[in-house]
């Protein structure tokens, strides 16, 4: 009874906005600070986090996967990629199966919108989105990455396991292409093509 009276008389004063705010602040004082002490404490990135694209390295042949086919340069919505190709010397000595190889690759991170289209369109899985989020430099010209930097960063990404080797993915893509080429007009053919795909995947 007394408690009820007490609550009745005290409820309105406590429910004043100012008082509520004060107690909310006090409640937050006992929570953990959300601050991330950045240079000493690194953030935990999401597995699909995308910063600017980098180039991968084929460790078996010891050359980049990139053949300089220019598809990324053509598809790039902000025109930040510039590629040129050359004849592969290792193809002449039959060390490599790549007839052409990338000569120069320039990426202007200042204008890159990190859309990932270059990765989607690359036929050789030569390009991958990095997790290199702290891209600040002291000069704007340092934002233009050349081939060597991109390859070095790409090796780092491969070591982190953010890129799967192209062999498996290539077979999948080939089966998908075959399915397209066969043009499934009837349902049976479509079924066949899907079964083919499944077989390849199980292989």
Partner 1 sequence: MNISDYISIFAIVFVMFNGILGSVLVVIYGERKVLARLQQRIGPSRTGPWGILQTLADAVKLVLKEDIRPQNSDRIIFYLAPLIIFTPIFMLWVVLPFGSGLVLGDIDLGLFYVSALLGLSVVGMVAAGWSSNSKYAMLGSARSAAQLISYELPLILSILSVGLFAQLFTDNPFNLSSIVNAQAGLPFIFVMPLAFVLFLIGGLAETARIPFDIPHADEEIVGGAFVEYSGIRWGAFQLSEYTGLITMAFLASILFLGGWSGPFSDKFVWLQPFYISSKTAFIILLAFWIRAPLPRLRIDQLMAFAWKAIIPISFANFILVSLVVFIGDRISLPIFQIQLILGLLNLISMIALAYLLTSRRKRRLAVYRERWGEK
Question: With respect to partner 1, which residue has the nearer C-beta, 34 or 167?
Answer: 34
Q: Does 16 bind partner 1 (CB under 8 A)?
A: yes
Q: Contact at 8 Å (CB) between 89 and 97? A: no
Pick the piece of the chain touching partner 1 (CB under 8 A) from 17-25, 45-53, 127-135, 190-198: 17-25
Per the structure block, which two tokens stand in for 119? 């990765």
User: Which range in 21-29, 67-75, 133-141, 142-150 contacts partner 1 by CB under 8 A?
Assistant: 21-29
The full DSSP string for 37-105 is -TTTS-----TT---SEEE-EETTTTEES-----HHHHH-TT--EEEEEEE-HHHHTTS-S-SEEEEEE
Tokens of 93: 């000595």
Beta carbon of residue 41, minimum distance to partner 1 (angstroms, whole number):
11
Binding mask 30-59 for partner 1 (x = CB under 8 A): -xxxxx-x----------------------
27 or 48: CB nearest partner 1? 27
Query: Of 13-21, 42-50, 64-72, 171-179, which part binds partner 1 (CB under 8 A)?
Result: 13-21
Q: How far is CA 117 from CA 76, 127, 156, in A?
A: 7, 10, 21
Residue 135 neighbours by CB under 8 Å, 6+ apart: 51, 52, 109, 143
* Chain positions contacting partner 1, by CB under 8 A: 9-10, 12-13, 15-18, 21-22, 24-26, 28-29, 31-35, 37
């Amino acid at each position: 009874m007394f408690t009820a009276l007490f609550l009745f008389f005290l409820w309105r004063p406590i429910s004043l906005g100012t008082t509520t705010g004060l107690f909310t602040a006090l409640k937050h004082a006992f929570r953990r600070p959300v601050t991330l002490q950045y240079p000493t404490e690194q953030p935990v990135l999401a597995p699909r986090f995308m910063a600017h694209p980098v180039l991968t390295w084929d460790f078996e042949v010891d050359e980049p996967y990139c053949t300089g086919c220019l598809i990324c340069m053509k598809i790039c919505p902000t025109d930040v990629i510039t590629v040129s190709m050359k004849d592969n010397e290792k193809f002449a000595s039959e060390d490599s199966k790549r007839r052409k190889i990338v000569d120069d690759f320039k990426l202007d991170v200042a204008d890159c919108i990190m859309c990932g289209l270059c990765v989607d369109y690359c036929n050789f899985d030569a390009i991958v989105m990095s997790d290199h989020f702290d891209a600040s430099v002291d000069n704007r010209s340092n934002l233009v990455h050349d081939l060597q930097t991109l390859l070095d960063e790409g090796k780092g990404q491969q070591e982190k396991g953010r890129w799967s080797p192209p062999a498996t993915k290539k077979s999948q893509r080939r089966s998908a292409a075959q399915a397209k080429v066969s043009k499934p007009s009837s349902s049976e053919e479509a079924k066949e093509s899907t079964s083919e795909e499944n077989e390849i995947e199980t292989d």
